[in-house]
Amino acid sequence: MGDAAHAPLPTSGQGACQALEDAWHLVRVLEKYDDLELALTAFYQQRIDKTSASQRVGRQVAQKIFTTAADTNETPALGISAQQLVTLWMQGLSN
């Protein structure tokens, strides 16, 4: 559940949130399927896109926070502040 299952970076701010979402989805699939293997497969399929996105955004936020233009001699690829990225993520509007 949460951090233990998905290992998000702290910059994603999603560890506890993912644990709550995981618990909700896990209960739903366990109620739906009698076969544990089918239930866990369904759980995985339901969660993989969201948890992968959480990890991806966490890495982007970390890069934005901890990398400066002086470090890379480039303009940051995101083009928005870390706080703006977090706000978009929380609203479900990021990639």
H-run or E-run covering 42: helix 36-66
The 10s digit of each residue's pLDDT in 20-40 is 889 999 999 999 999 999 999
Supply the pLDDT for residue 4: 63
In this prediction, residue 44 carries a pLDDT of 93
The rounded average pLDDT for each run of 10 residues, N- to C-terminus, in the chain (95 residues) is 68 77 94 97 92 83 69 56 70 58
Determine the Cα–Cα distance for residues 15 and 4; give it in Å rounded to an integer.
8
How many helices (H) does the chain have, and how many strands (E)? 5, 0
Residue spans per domain, the chain? 2-90
